[in-house]
Structure 1
């Protein structure tokens, strides 16, 4: 089993709960992501998504200066550094989420996206096929 630490992103863009949704949206654009963990003093407080901004702010006519805390999702599911890739995939499937923040000692240490798991699984499969082909004796006679 592969550890989640092998495929998680550790350089995670974050916003504080007091930053504005405009700042969050700008950071999403710069980082080319659709969600950003909300972290106060290193602790994961929530997550804000482009969907949160659209439905909870723009659709309701709120200002760009609205604090992230007013529109972020707080019913968070998170993982831990000692979990396996398989465990993370199972949690993400159960909760139908595309990104899983990884927490250690109540501190955000990384995030795993669905694409990270797919890439990891494909790499493992490819490595397995390669190893099988390398390990088989040459069948030329």
Structure 2
């Protein structure tokens, strides 16, 4: 049976809770990932994902995040232009917001010796894309849906070779 240790990334990209959201955005983009563990020192305290960052940009006073449709882009009505400017101002404020203010605090984790089936089950049940891998309290890796799919493919090819 394949274990999380067999498919996890042993060098997860992580960010400190005190870092600016703009740093998190930059890291997600440069590392080409959609989320990462958040640490206070060495302790796991949350996860920050693209979804968390998008939620931060919702303009609650205006009824939620506004993204223009193609027709609205052509028309560019004044009221929508004002909303767009407010959204841009909020995005600029993101540079002063810390990761701890936007991260998801309820973190599901998995151990390196657990089966990839259990990890997959947790991801599906909780609708998450990644699981930090902890050994005791120490972050030792991260496993994503893609890692598990790749692991299942490796396992299937080993069975075919036998």
Q: TM-score interval w.r.t. the shorter chain? A: 0.7 to 0.9
Tell me how far 1:130 sits from its aligned partner: 2.0
Matched, 1:130 2:130: no
Task: For 1:1-141, list aligned pairs within 5 A.
Answer: 1-56=1-56, 58-60=57-59, 61=90, 63=93, 64-131=95-162
Q: 2:158 & 2:126 partners in 1: Cα distance? A: 30
Q: 1:93 & 1:31 partners in 2: Cα distance? A: 24
Instruction: Give RMSD over aligned pairs.
Output: 1.2
Q: Which runs of 4+ in 1 moved over 6 A?
A: none
Q: 1:103 & 1:130 partners in 2: Cα distance? A: 33
Q: 2:105 & 2:125 partners in 1: Cα distance? A: 18
**Structure (1/2) with the larger helix percentage:** 2
- Cross-structure match for 2:62: none
Tell me how far 1:107 sits from its aligned partner: 1.3
Q: 1:10 & 1:93 partners in 2: Cα distance? A: 22
Asked if structure 1 preserves the Cα contact closer than 8 Å seen for 2:110 and 2:133, the reply is: yes
Asked if structure 1 preserves the Cα contact closer than 8 Å seen for 2:120 and 2:148, the reply is: yes
Tell me how far 1:10 sits from its aligned partner: 1.1
Asked if structure 1 preserves the Cα contact closer than 8 Å seen for 2:123 and 2:130, the reply is: yes
Asked if structure 1 preserves the Cα contact closer than 8 Å seen for 2:2 and 2:155, the reply is: no
DSSP 3-state at the match of 2:37: strand
State the TM-score, normalized to the length of structure 1. 0.87
